[in-house]
Amino acid sequence: MEKVQRVYKAHCLVLPFPLQGHINPLLQFSKLLDHKQVKVTLVTTRFIYNTMYRGSSCTAFESISLETISDGYDEGGRAKAESTQAYLESFSKVGPQTLAELLEKLSGSGCPVDCLVYDSFMPWPLDVAKKFGIVGAVFFTQSCAVDNIYYHVNKGLLKLPLTDSKILLPGMPPLEPLDLPSFVYDVGYNPAFLEVVIGQFSNVDKADWVLCNTFYELEEQVVDWMTDFWPVRTIGPTIPSRYLDKRLEDDKDYGVNLFKSNNDACMKWLNEQRKGSVVYVSFGSAAQLDGEQMEELAWGLRRGKSKFLWVVRELEAAKVPEGFIEETTEKGLVVSWCSQLEVLAHEAVGCFVTHCGWNSTLEAVSLGVPLVAMPQWTDQSTNAKYIRDVWKIGVKAQTDEKGIVRVGEVENCICEIMEGKRGKDIQRNAMKWKELARKAVDEGGSSNKNIDEFIAILVKR
């Protein structure tokens, strides 16, 4: 049969920062735009395309076009750069040139670009959009609370190094220094990335839209404050439709994974466990726990009463204590990677031990899974603060003077959620936020209405 030609309302070029935690939210947003009859061209670096997208079986790519630009490291990506700083400098120099060339090419394609949606980690695409006279929409992949903190640092309203023991910011609860992102409470930790996160706000005032991967009800006060001076719209959580509103047929995964999955083994094992009996442990695609912390976590899992599914990436496997896997075969399963969404959605999972990156946090919120927060770096300490004290959907594991969460603390935190009285309240709160997340993206919900408004104004222009 001849393929029916789709009629599009507008054409958006979508440009994520080349990290999995940034690509997947923007890919998911692209699927939503495509579903609403907006043509989407997803743009990534040549290296990322060759290593992550080529040959992908994701159904999203049947209608979403893929294009590439250069970051100056086409053969090896960021790994080939001498430093993070060198990579960022190269990308900000080569990226605008090759993005402009792409826009020139597409302008003669019969479906010119109307809007550039770009990751906030890269302010320079907005200048390219303005040069071509198209709409520039900045997309923030972190929480609005974290964006608020970085904004205040950028404007000099929160001075570094920190000197106050209590930090008061509009729309947020009182914070202690260790509740702030690692780049802020420890300015020498990673100066290159501090420059990136602060630089997100260098030209944000010129953006036509400020899109945030959260939902209004989750961060109502801080969103209201931001909306007073920016055209902020919450459009999240950017979670595949299968796990939320179920309106997008076959939308069950993000489509991009850095690692080969052990999904079949995970699902088979989970299917054999009782409802709510399993602790799922994962620290995402980038976090690296040191050997001492891995050992304490391992023995904490062994000592606890609950069964566990632990994701240990291949590069981290040597840190697992010798003999641990063999000694715990009756109690747990250790795998190198799996689909986090499928695991969190499984009825056997009753608790999620994680670093609390924003994507993992949003997934847990959207699926109603209580958390044990073990933040490592970046925005994770702020997310953990909200998990424990604002949304009340989990506990935060306390570290000792060396910054290590010890065996007893691991065991106690898990026990509190899985067996304790407080755990019942946490589970009820988690289910409340799950329902609010679903409503936000469903017909008439806050995020769905914001996306419709974005498209409607785009069409008028």
One of 3.40.50.2000, 3.20.20.70, 3.40.50.300, 1.10.3720.10 is the CATH number of 263-437, namely 3.40.50.2000
Model pLDDT, residue 60? 53
Average pLDDT score, the chain: 93
> Positive or negative CA dihedral for 171, 176, 180, 183?
positive
**Looking up tokens 């009629």, which residue turns up?**
7
Q: At a CB cut-off of 8 Å and minimum separation 6, what does 292 contact?
A: 402, 404
The one-letter amino acid at 126: L
Cis (ω within 30 of 0) for the bond into 237?
A: yes
> Positive or negative CA dihedral for 425, 427, 428, 429?
positive
> What's the average model confidence in pLDDT over 73-99?
92
**End-to-end Cα distance, the chain:** 36
Cis (ω within 30 of 0) for the bond into 112?
A: no
DSSP E strands in 177-269: the ranges are: 209-212, 232-234
Residues 258-282 as b or e (16 or more Cβ within 10 Å = b): eeebbeeebeebbeebeeebbbbbb
pLDDT tens across 119-150, in order?
A: 999 999 999 999 999 999 999 999 999 999 99
pLDDT at residue 51 greater than cutoff 90 = no
CATH 3.40.50.2000 residue ranges of the chain are 10-252+443-460, 263-437
> Positive or negative CA dihedral for 363, 369, 375, 379?
positive
Q: How far is CA 274 from the centre of its chain?
A: 29
Model pLDDT, residue 37? 95
Model pLDDT, residue 1? 42
pLDDT at residue 262 greater than cutoff 80 = no
> What's the average model confidence in pLDDT over 327-348?
95
Model pLDDT, residue 258? 60
Model pLDDT, residue 61? 61
Model pLDDT, residue 190? 82
> What's the average model confidence in pLDDT over 145-160?
96
pLDDT at residue 279 greater than cutoff 80 = yes
Give the C-alpha separation, 368 to 407, whole Å: 26
Q: Quickly count: other Cβ atoms within 10 Å of residue 461's Cβ.
A: 10
Model pLDDT, residue 256? 65
Residues 345-372 as b or e (16 or more Cβ within 10 Å = b): bbebbbbbbbbbbbbbbbbbbbbbbbbb
Q: How confident is the model at residue 2 (pLDDT cuts 50, 70, 90)?
A: very low
Percent of all residues in the chain with a pLDDT value above 90, rounded to a whole number: 82
- Residues marked as catalytic: 22, 119
Q: At a CB cut-off of 8 Å and minimum separation 6, what does 118 contact?
A: 14, 15, 125, 126, 129, 136, 137, 138, 139
Model pLDDT, residue 50? 87
Fold of 10-252+443-460: Rossmann fold (3.40.50)
DSSP E strands in 326-393: the ranges are: 332-335, 349-354, 371-373
